[in-house]
Amino acid sequence: MTTSTAVVNPTVSVKLTGAGSTFINPVLQAMISAYQAATPTVAINYQSVGSGAGISALEGHTVDFAASDAPLQAADIAKAPNALTIPTTIGAEAIAYNVPGIASNLHLTGKVIADIFSGNVTTWNNPEIQSLNTNVTLPSNSILVVHRSDSSGTTFVFTGYLSQESAGWNKTYGQSKTIGWPVGLGANGNAGVAGVVQGTTYTIGYVELDYAIANKMTVASVENNAGNWVLPTLASSAAAATSVTSLPAGNGVWSTFNLLNQPGANTYPIVTFSYILVYKDLSVNTDLNVNSADALVNFLYWAVNTGQGQAQGLSYVPLPANVVAIDVATIQSITFGTTALAIQQ
């Protein structure tokens, strides 16, 4: 039971560490920069190393917080008891390709994407692709698949989508942060996949939308639940969050929740939350004290409120009010041992 409230010295310099998702990295780094400018006594070092590595670091107590696009699974929860899940942003995964002469808006269904990444469709002019794109002449060149080589929340979301769209994919590969890819070339992080696709012709890969925009990549229109072809944009990503009314609590189970294939005529189908993961009792992190724990809680509170202003300019979706409300309740529950932590609102 909480028995006291922290009295924090705001003049003491604090260093916080985080690691994980490359998907969230552009917007999280923007949040960190803005927060540090307003709060110069707090230094936050976030390493964009992939969701799997971030979760492992959280479980090993070598970081103060982790970020992941894959929610904690049962095995993770066993290794990180009392960890909390804080949805921090919403983003889309673009299907990016590099085919000379073919601009953005190539039409692809989820089944065809699964067939490409499983090696069943191997050329760009394969009838499965050409039949969806009768207005363009596709080349006979082989498709070079580019996928993540690291343990990745982006892969977790992407393979979850493929598992929904293709019974064959679901049976053979399923959903995971790491996959035994049957074809293709591996690259590290969203930036790595984007770099290979952008620099190599006849490739295809999956990347967070901001990476596709920043690299001026061509991206596919993907068929959604309504049967419409939808490009990944800020608006089509935001549409995926509008129908979500029931969410787990921060200390609940998020492993069965996702934003894939949400309803709506203009909804892009490959959308996800990206989460910050943190312990409910921050005293389990031996590098933290009451002052630094309070600084972390205040940064998290700022990130899900004021920090959402950093999202749209980077093509991430600001959190809806119902998600912010859950996040605030979660953050307010964080303690340092039996000491409550004061949020400066």
Say yes or no: 18 and 134 in one domain.
Answer: no
Residue with tokens 């936050």: 44
Nearest to 320 by CA among 328, 64, 121, 188: 328
Per-residue 3-state assignment (H helix, E strand, C coil) for 31-66: HHHHHHHHCCCEEEEEEECCHHHHHHHHHCCCCCEE
Say yes or no: 41 and 25 in one domain.
Answer: yes
Say yes or no: 290 and 180 in one domain.
Answer: no
Q: Last residue of a domain, which of 241, 273, 297? A: 241
Q: Which residues of the chain have pLDDT under 50?
A: 1-4, 7
Domain that holds residue 265: 4-89+247-340
Q: Which residues pair with 230 in a beta bridge?
A: 222
312 in a domain, yes or no? yes
Say yes or no: 125 and 213 in one domain.
Answer: yes
Q: Using CA atoms, how far apart are residues 178 and 172, in angstroms rounded to an integer? A: 14
Q: Using CA atoms, how far apart are residues 27 and 44, in angstroms rounded to an integer? A: 14
CATH number for position 261: 3.40.190.10
227: left (phi over 0), alpha (psi -120 to 50) or beta: left
Tell me the three state secondary structure of residue 262.
Answer: coil
273-295 pLDDT, tens digit each: 999 999 999 999 999 999 999 99
**pTM higher than 0.75:** yes
Say yes or no: 259 and 219 in one domain.
Answer: no
99-127 pLDDT, tens digit each: 999 999 999 999 999 999 999 999 999 99
302-319 pLDDT, tens digit each: 999 999 999 999 999 999
The pLDDT value recorded for residue 188 is 97
Tell me the three state secondary structure of residue 97.
Answer: strand
Long-range contacts (CB closer than 8 Å, 24 or more residues apart) made by 302-306: 302/31, 302/35, 303/28, 303/31, 303/35, 303/88, 303/276, 304/86, 304/87, 304/88, 304/328, 304/331
